Each structure stands twice: as C-alpha cells, then as structure tokens.
C-alpha cells in the first residue's frame, strides 16, 4: 500500500507540478546532445577523439 502511494505521488509530481522543471530539463538535454554531435563531427574530421575518457 505504501509503495502504491509513493508511486502515485511520484507520478503526480512528474506530470503535474514538475511540468515546468521537466520542460527545462528537456531543453538542456537537447542542447547537450547538439553540442556533443557538433564536437563529435568536428573532431572526427580531424581524425582525433574529442573526449578524454
């Protein structure tokens, strides 16, 4: 019963009150992916890795 209540509260925050924060996080994710792709293609053209891990 307690697990069901926790899941319900998490869903309400995710789809209700957390809507604006989730929207901001999506835009940050999209910007990070675009920067990653730009770096990937720029450095791949030079024949080197652009990351250090």
Tokens (6 digits) for 51: 């990351």
Q: What is the pLDDT of residues 2-18, one digit of tens each?
A: 788 888 877 777 776 66
Whether 46 maps to a domain, the answer reads: yes
Q: Into how many domains does the chain fold? A: 1
Whether 11 maps to a domain, the answer reads: no
Whether 13 maps to a domain, the answer reads: no
Distance, CA of 45 to CA of 53 (rounded, Å): 19
Whether 45 maps to a domain, the answer reads: yes
Whether 51 maps to a domain, the answer reads: yes
Q: Is 0.85 topped by the overall pTM?
A: no
Distance, CA of 9 to CA of 22 (rounded, Å): 16
Whether the pLDDT of residue 53 is over 60: the answer is no
Q: How many other CB atoms are found less than 10 A from the CB of residue 14?
A: 12
Please name the residue ranges forming H helices in the chain: 2-12, 19-46
**Which domain, by its residues, includes 39?**
24-53
Is residue 24 within 8 A of residue 13, CB to CB? The reply is no
Whether 3 maps to a domain, the answer reads: no
């Amino acid at each position: 019963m307690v697990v069901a209540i926790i899941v319900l509260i998490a869903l309400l925050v995710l789809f209700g009150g957390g809507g604006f924060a989730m929207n901001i996080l999506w835009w940050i994710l999209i910007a990070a992916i675009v920067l990653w792709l730009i770096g990937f293609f720029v450095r791949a053209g030079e024949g080197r890795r652009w990351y250090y891990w």
